[in-house]
Structure 1
Amino acid sequence: MLAIDLTHSAHSRAQTGIQQVSRGLLDAMTDLTDAEAIVYDRFARAWRRLDGRERRHLKHVDSRKGVRRKRAHWSTWQRLRGRWLANLRGKRLVLPPEGRYRGLLVPEFFGSDVGPWLPALRERIGGPAVAIFHDAIAFRHPELGMPETTKRFPQYLRELAQFDAVAAVSEASADELRECWARLDLHDPPPVHAVQLGLRRPPQQRPLMPAGPRPDCPELLMVATLETRKNHEALLKAAETLWQEGLSFAVHLVGMPHAVTGKPVVAQVKALQEAGYPLIWEGGLNAAALEERYRQCWATVFPSHLEGFGLPVLESLDYGKPAITTDRGGLNDFVHHGGCLVVEPNAHSVETALRRLLTEPELHPCLCDEAANRPIRTMHDFAADLRDLLDQLATAKSAGRP
């Protein structure tokens, strides 16, 4: 059986990319192979299977509205139970039964509450251990991240180097990780494999929407945390210019504000709303509500400065909706294959693309057709590639190869 560490996702209501990937990967991997989620219970000092509360959380969290707080929440009962068990066992570290698991997969960014206890878990399991790497933004651009994440990140990178292999979610993320290890002067790190992400939906059930006639007031959707890195500023400046020119369209933003860099974006949004422009901002949405926003929109915009992957763009294309997007970071892996207008991350470039999309009658249907006819990876594709990687590592270990 494969163990999948979901210590954070089993206790967090956040709907950000890492949580979506971690939860979706568990569902897909359990469809493909014998696998289950585990957590590190810091109160019990134990690696263990999920309890009933954690299983219910993973089952129902997608139906709940997203929240700003990303921290994991442990109930009072879980804390008291854990401390009682830890005292009962003399506070020794408890590991899974020997032979229960054949490998370990860690899809989350792990903090100091989990990282120090991973080596003992890997040693107990004995089989291959693979971590998923999302991006190095906290290391390369510390001004854009949460202070505690930025402070923790160098040690996290060192702990990643203890795995048998790392699966980066894009070619850009793979290159970034190798560069980070070189900057930290880490010698002989494990191999890094670029394994492109996929979407959380059943295979062969693509939610493709027909293009349809152009509405009187097309709606442009942007799904992203409100923060400097996502570059709402470029979209909002471009939209204001075009509104002042008399073009008819609406902008719909979905996302919670970032605790550190979100305030200027929120101020810009509120100023445009107070000026009477057709700008809607919703916070976090549950999965069903977000699906409806994608179905209703005419196109999406994603002018991000830097991405480990860029799931909202792939989601847009999955619905057959064109995307105005940059190709920074992991976006470069897939945005040039149809359905996208690729822009630079500045207001002028976004404005030019928006004007073309709104005023050139043939452009939108052409992009819709490209989006509808391109292949879209799913989480099952991602899980299958990871399963194959784990199998290859297991074969190499059994043969005594490094």
Structure 2
Amino acid sequence: MLYYDVTNSIGSKTKSGLQRVASALRRALEAETTLIPIVWSTRRARYESGRDLVHFSTSDTLLIPDLFAEEDRPRFANFIQSCPARTAAIFHDAIPVRFPEFTWPHSVRKHPRYLKDLAHFDQILAVSTQSKNELVGFWQWLGLPTPPPVEVVPSGADIHPDRPRVTGDQFPSGHQILQTGILEPRKNQTTSLAAAKILHQQGVGFRLGFIGRVNPHYGKPIQQAIKQATKAGISVKHHGKLTDDELAGLYREARFTLLPSLAEGNGLPVLESLWQGLPVICSKLPAADDWAAGEAVRVVDPLTPEALATAMREWLENDAAYAKSVTAARSMPLPTWHQSAQSILSLLKPSN
């Protein structure tokens, strides 16, 4: 039996990127096999299904798709070490350890223990080669003698199940640009905003929409800077909470997307944009190397406001170059969550 940890999604008012990934993977796995969602009980230091304790057997598999922390789940590490089921976890990134200067303090505090506790699992499934290398490197630094195997299983591009991939030959004619992601220094909205100011000064027509919640620790200055730019007449806007339909509408109107991020666990924002048939201008991200190639994804390296503005202006004003990038975006092969689920199930099969 496959048991799936849904602890972090129970009662959550916001849907983080990790929670969206966990939901998409759950749907894909449920289409392939029987899956039982379970929740960690802090009081009982065990998993529950409904109100009943889960009694694992050696023929079961426990899969954890999201983050966990001993600080939030006392005795969890001991439970994993003694659990009779085969244990597996999805590993996303080591960003809090690599970039503590712009990561939430509580994540910086918890993450080293989390990376260490992952070594107690039987199998780790990394979302990118970059993430795998980060985790394996951390374990080597700790000197762990027998860490578990780490396999790369790319995320699917079809994060929204009701949206088929855009592959038509009708290209957007407007000048809407989108940047999705939580407002925080890591996502680097400040560079996009500076590039927008350059385009505004050059008289280039565009509309830049920032989509994402505000990091309560770091995001408010970025939100304020966007408001000030809007008041100054620059065509930028921070969209509040959007429904799936509203977000889909913005994608339909968009010409291309931006991802000037300073760090990512994988290339999911790139994949999402390509699934919508939109090319991407992004920073050089090792985690997105598989997708940041060809005409569909333009890498700006080194990333400066001036270089980003130049790349944006070309796709706004050069219709031939833009059409070439859209054609590439809509024709390149993309992974699906169905493929991810099949790969995971294959890796989780007991080896006899």
Q: Output the TM-score relative to the length of structure 1.
A: 0.81
Alignment map for 1:138-287 (pairs within 5 Å): 138-198=96-156, 199-202=158-161, 205-208=164-167, 210-212=169-171, 214-215=173-174, 218-287=175-244
Distance 1:221 1:356 in 2: 16
Distance 1:97 1:127 in 2: 9
User: 1:11 aligns to what?
Assistant: 11
Query: The residue matched to 2:262 in structure 1 has which SS?
Result: coil
Alignment map for 1:305-384 (pairs within 5 Å): 305-344=262-301, 345-384=303-342
Given the alignment of the two structures, is residue 114 of structure 1 paired with residue 73 of structure 2, yes or no?
Answer: yes
Distance 2:37 2:56 in 1: 17
Judged with a 3 Å threshold, the aligned counterparts in structure 2 of structure 1 residues 37 and 172 are, in CA distance, closer, same or farther, namely same
Look up the equivalent residue of 1:307 and give its one-letter code: E
Judged with a 3 Å threshold, the aligned counterparts in structure 2 of structure 1 residues 98 and 314 are, in CA distance, closer, same or farther, namely closer
Distance 2:86 2:58 in 1: 14
Distance 2:75 2:110 in 1: 12
Look up the equivalent residue of 1:318 and give its one-letter code: W
Task: Indicate if the aligned counterparts of 1:170 and 1:309 stay in contact, CA closer than 8 A.
Answer: yes
Given the alignment of the two structures, is residue 102 of structure 1 paired with residue 81 of structure 2, yes or no?
Answer: no
Deviation (angstroms), 1:37: 1.1
Look up the equivalent residue of 1:279 and give its one-letter code: V
Task: Indicate if the aligned counterparts of 1:202 and 1:378 stay in contact, CA closer than 8 A.
Answer: no
**1:253-299 Cα shifts (integer Å, max 9, x gaps):** 11111122213312221110110111111133232222222112111
Task: Indicate if the aligned counterparts of 2:166 and 2:330 stay in contact, CA closer than 8 A.
Answer: no
Alignment gaps of 5+ in structure 1 = 52-93
Task: Indicate if the aligned counterparts of 2:22 and 2:66 stay in contact, CA closer than 8 A.
Answer: yes
What is the percent sequence identity of the aligned residues? 32
Query: The residue matched to 1:333 in structure 2 has which SS?
Result: coil
Distance 2:166 2:81 in 1: 39
Larger Rg: 1
Task: Indicate if the aligned counterparts of 1:168 and 1:192 stay in contact, CA closer than 8 A.
Answer: yes
Query: The residue matched to 2:182 in structure 1 has which SS?
Result: coil
Look up the equivalent residue of 1:284 and give its one-letter code: K
Look up the equivalent residue of 1:182 and give its one-letter code: Q
Task: Indicate if the aligned counterparts of 1:167 and 1:194 stay in contact, CA closer than 8 A.
Answer: yes
**1:44-87 Cα shifts (integer Å, max 9, x gaps):** 54411147xxxxxxxxxxxxxxxxxxxxxxxxxxxxxxxxxxxx
Query: The residue matched to 1:239 in structure 2 has which SS?
Result: helix
Deviation (angstroms), 1:191: 1.4
Look up the equivalent residue of 1:3 and give its one-letter code: Y
Look up the equivalent residue of 1:5 and give its one-letter code: D
Judged with a 3 Å threshold, the aligned counterparts in structure 2 of structure 1 residues 179 and 122 are, in CA distance, closer, same or farther, namely closer
Alignment gaps of 5+ in structure 2 = none
What is the aligned residue count? 349
Task: Indicate if the aligned counterparts of 2:182 and 2:212 stay in contact, CA closer than 8 A.
Answer: yes
User: 1:137 aligns to what?
Assistant: 95
Judged with a 3 Å threshold, the aligned counterparts in structure 2 of structure 1 residues 337 and 128 are, in CA distance, closer, same or farther, namely farther
User: 1:39 aligns to what?
Assistant: 39
**1:75-124 Cα shifts (integer Å, max 9, x gaps):** xxxxxxxxxxxxxxxxxxx8513449611111111022236325435644
Distance 2:56 2:258 in 1: 50
Look up the equivalent residue of 1:352 and give its one-letter code: T
